Amino acid sequence: MRRVRWIVLILLVSFMFVSCNRNTAQTSTVEVSEYVVSKTNLTDTVTVSGTVQAREYADIKPFVSGIVKRVYVSKGDSVKAGDVIVELDDAEYRLAYIKALQNYETAKNSGSKLLIQQREIELELAKRDLENCKIVSPINGVITSIDIKEGDLVSSGKIVGRVVNLEKLYVSASVDEVDYPKIALGQTATVSFGAIEGLNVSARVTYISSVAETSQGIVVVPIELDLMNVNVPQLGSRLSQMSEEERAQLQQRLQQLRTQFTTGQQIPQRQQQRTSQTQQTQNSKIIPGLSCEVNIITMSKENVLAVPANAVKFSSGKAYVTVKKSDGTTEEREIVLGVRTSNFYEVVEGLQKGEVVLVTGRTTTNRTQNVPPTVFFRP
């Protein structure tokens, strides 16, 4: 019996060691690569989320009460300022105007100055009420709602619809307090829309709030950007995923656009036609309420020496890089830095074009190992 117990115990222990635990451990390795110092264009951006809003809109409401005689528009119709949208039955108001006119003429014959002034004001009011039987659009835009039909009785001041100017749109957004110092009026941005794949339009920062707010426990500063009716080249990916070279190309394009806006340069006729068609397409797709992603270009410097951020080391407040000489040896060299992007530093002094610096990178790998369990024996 004792021998059987020992055999079972030995088999149990053997099984536990064979089926030991498998743990995964992470190991880090340092990789060193070479980078040839060259001149490039540095661009940095701040990315925020926003919502498209209409800069100009107006509620449609009558200034007199009455029965709707005719509705001239439907949702989605384009109108101009002064176009008649709704017409009310004006029979009572025409009668009131005629009576006011008769009273005015009679007063003029009476010779009483005060009575003439009174009747004149009454005539003006009657004329205004008669004219207000035609409800007109106060602005150019598109009818986004119209909530009445022929035969309805409407009261003075009741909102019966809305017209929105889709040519004056802006993006309402908020920037984190950490990025707030980078934002300035006039900065150019690109705007992409999750609901409209492949469409990117340019925008310009036109408003920065002077008061910060707290949103979900995070301090942010509200900003606004006006959408510009200019077609930005489609780059196939979001700006946050672009390389430094692609960002530089985009910045050059935006600089050309800014120059055309500020100097009034003439665009070739064919290009104007293509731009006009593109603008119409954009205006039909971009509507108030859409969410969007905004990439604000906060810094841009052209044709400067730059090195990867991972190539720079700091000691005692000074910056250094490891320079590889032509004979294969290396030296630590102090440099003077300029601006920084997320991936690069501008080098003001200390390096020449064509020199080679070492860039340090760190990679992480997963390694699975077998770890035997701890076995406790009770004496």
Over residues 53-98, the pLDDT tens digits come to 999 999 999 999 999 999 999 998 999 999 999 999 999 999 999 9
**Of 122-136, 223-237, 253-267, 287-301, the least confident:** 253-267
Beta bridge partners of 68: 88
Over residues 236-254, the pLDDT tens digits come to 334 444 555 655 555 565 5
Beta bridge partners of 53: 170
Least Cα distance to 339 among 283, 376, 298 occurs for: 298
Over residues 306-317, the pLDDT tens digits come to 899 888 999 888
137, two tokens: 């659009």
How high is the pLDDT of residue 283? 45
pTM of the model: 0.60
Domain boundaries, the chain: 27-41+303-368, 44-55+166-302, 57-89+133-163
Q: Thinking of the domain 27-41+303-368, which architecture would CATH place it in?
A: Beta Barrel (2.40)
Q: Give the SS3 label for residue 64.
A: coil
CATH 1.10.10.10 given to domain 44-55+166-302: no
367, two tokens: 């390694």
* Cα–Cα distance, 296 to 290 (Å, whole number): 18
Could you tell me which residues come within 8 angstroms of residue 345 by beta carbon, excluding any fewer than 6 positions away?
Answer: 306, 307, 308, 309, 311, 312, 319, 337, 338, 339
Q: Give the SS3 label for residue 139.
A: coil
CATH 2.60.40.10 given to domain 57-89+133-163: no
Q: Which amino acid is at 25?
A: A
CA angle (37, 39, 41) in 5-degree steps: 130
Sheet holding 134-136, edge to edge: 134-136, 84-88, 66-71, 153-154
Least Cα distance to 88 among 134, 56, 36, 148 occurs for: 134
